[in-house]
Amino acid sequence: MPKTKERTYSDAEIRDKLHALPGWWLEGGMICRTYQTDGWPTTLMLVNAIGYIAEAAYHHPDLAVSWGQVTVKVNNHAAGGITDKDFELARKIEDAALWRPQGGALEGTPNKFVRPGDAR
Domains of the chain: 11-99 (3.30.1360.20)
Lowest-confidence region among 5-19, 42-56, 68-82, 101-115: 101-115
Name 35's bridge partners.
Answer: 70, 116
pLDDT tens, residue by residue, 56-104: 999 999 999 999 999 999 999 999 999 999 999 999 999 999 999 998 9
pLDDT for the residue numbered 65: 98
- DSSP code of 2? P
**Residue 42 identity (one-letter amino acid):** T
pLDDT for the residue numbered 3: 67
Q: Is pLDDT of 107 > 70?
A: yes
> Residue 107 and residue 85: Cα distance in Å, rounded?
33
The CA–CA distances, whole Å, from 93 to 2, 5, 34, 48 equal 30, 24, 11, 11
Backbone CA torsion sign across 112, 17, 60, 74: negative
> Residue 100 and residue 85: Cα distance in Å, rounded?
25
- Residue 1: band (very low, low, confident or very high) from pLDDT cuts 50, 70, 90: low
